[in-house]
Chains A and B, each alone.
Chain A
Amino acid sequence: MDLIKLISDIEQVDADANERLSFYSRRNLFKMGSRVAAAALPTIVAGSLNEAFAQSSAAVDVVKYALTLEYLENDFYLKGLAASGLIPSSDRTIFSQISKHETAHVALLRGALGTAAPASPTFKYPTGTFTSYQTFVATARILEDTGVAAYKGQAGALINDKAILQTALQIHSVEARHASEIRRLAGLKGWVSDSVSTNSSLTQGGVNLKTLPNTTGISDDNFRAAFDEPLTMAQVLALAGPFIG
């Protein structure tokens, strides 16, 4: 799927897109969400966009975006668990638990969207994903860390939708539990402080962490790992795009 082309297509079909985006910006400080979230959902395009808009909330777009990521995670773990000889018996309990949560998240988000819920896209995976355990775990790591960062990146857009914000946070921390476990399975630390990190900031909220008192001897890795960084929708879709077939 060509995301850029799809965004362009949606803008042509949905002539009011710009107007609605400015509406979101004024109302909910929400930027570019409609276009990009819709771009991830090829099966719905204009029809459901209008349906979503009728509910007058930027939150709908965030939930659709989250659902797309949950569809991907759910599909990934179901395929992994079904692949003969892939997951060693010692680790199967871990993946079954994660898979159970992703299935529950899909059901929860679909329920929240009701008739506006899009169908699952078709997903594709790099060669070896379900034949090499190492590749499978590495892909799981990417999906979980990206999921954490994706939910985190939408918190601000939900600040006026208190119930949805809380539910999103309750999913977000479960994804972080998954991410920690998968990272440790992969031989990494459970927190993001390594070379595969997107975390790089030693300044948070205008505070230079390295100047804080009582932190002598703390490594830069731990200064970075103490705060998980968000990803924007565009950044997440760039990572998830290759999986959407």
Chain B
Amino acid sequence: MATVDLGSGDVGILNYAYALEQLEAAFYTQVVATPFSGMTTAETQILTDLRDHEVIHREFFKAALSTSAIGALTPNFTGINFNDRSSVLNTAKAFEDLGVAAYNGAGNLIKDVNYLALAGKIVSVEARHAAAIRDLLNPKSADFAGDDIVTPSTGLDPATKPSGVLPTAQKFVKTPISGANLPTA
């Protein structure tokens, strides 16, 4: 399978976001299409909303990037048991936390203030998702913004650069992705 190069500059960062949104959208599409056993009405509602948001994000980036958009990535979900609640929700948690850290880390790599504004509009939606998924896993606990993800002494979410995010994302995508030409500072 040919390697997909995300590109350079702001287009590269938008393609990076597009790649992550493709991954999330594919995941939730599968989750809703093949619900885990015992999925409650409330869980179905939340997971369907998340699917819709991620599909919108994916299609938005594709439209915004136009002819600069990378192609469709092939997901690799072989490690996920879609029939198992814990497997699905823990994967969702990992994807949402990864997305938040990725957008937080990409923000200061963006040159165009309009693209920065759009990234800002999306990252907080991902953070809202992350909190809801975490609360489904451990209701009414501190986990929605738990000490495992938000540093207690500073109250900060992680910000991870593409070089730290892509190896994790790659585990769930068959298509080889290269961020070699992305901005690093």
A residues in contact (CB < 8 Å) with B = 29, 90-91, 93-94, 96-98, 100-105, 108, 148, 152, 155-156, 159, 162-163, 165-167, 169-181, 184, 189-191, 204-205, 207, 209, 212-215, 218-219, 222-223, 225-230
Give min CB distance, A157 to chain B, whole Å.
Answer: 9
The distance in angstroms between the C-alpha atoms of A215 and B57, with both chains bound, is 11
Please classify how large the interface on chain B is, using the bins under 10, 10 to 19, 20 to 34, 35 or more: 35 or more
The distance in angstroms between the C-alpha atoms of A102 and B152, with both chains bound, is 10
Which A residues are in CB contact (< 8 Å) with B144? 94, 97, 177-178, 180-181
Give min CB distance, B11 to chain A, whole Å.
Answer: 14
Are the C-beta atoms of B128 and A215 separated by less than 8 Å?
no
Give min CB distance, B25 to chain A, whole Å.
Answer: 9
Secondary structure at the B interface, as helix, strand, loop or mixed, is helix
Which A residues are in CB contact (< 8 Å) with B154? 104, 108
Which A residues are in CB contact (< 8 Å) with B128? 176-177, 179-180, 190-191, 228
B55 at the interface (CB under 8 A from A): yes
B47 at the interface (CB under 8 A from A): no
Are the C-beta atoms of B56 and A212 separated by less than 8 Å?
yes
B123 at the interface (CB under 8 A from A): yes
Which A residues are in CB contact (< 8 Å) with B33? none
Which A residues are in CB contact (< 8 Å) with B159? 166, 169-170
B75 at the interface (CB under 8 A from A): no
Are the C-beta atoms of A204 and B118 separated by less than 8 Å?
yes
B residues in contact (CB < 8 Å) with A = 46, 49, 52-53, 55-57, 59-60, 63-64, 100, 103-105, 107-108, 110-111, 113-114, 116-118, 120-132, 135, 140-142, 144-146, 150, 152-159, 185
Give min CB distance, B2 to chain A, whole Å.
Answer: 24
| Minimal Cβ-Cβ distance residue in B for A106 | B155
The distance in angstroms between the C-alpha atoms of A223 and B59, with both chains bound, is 12
Are the C-beta atoms of A173 and B123 separated by less than 8 Å?
yes
| Minimal Cβ-Cβ distance residue in A for B57 | A226
Give min CB distance, A168 to chain B, whole Å.
Answer: 9
| Minimal Cβ-Cβ distance residue in B for A152 | B120
Are the C-beta atoms of B104 and A205 separated by less than 8 Å?
no
The distance in angstroms between the C-alpha atoms of A214 and B26, with both chains bound, is 12
Which B residues are in CB contact (< 8 Å) with A213? 59
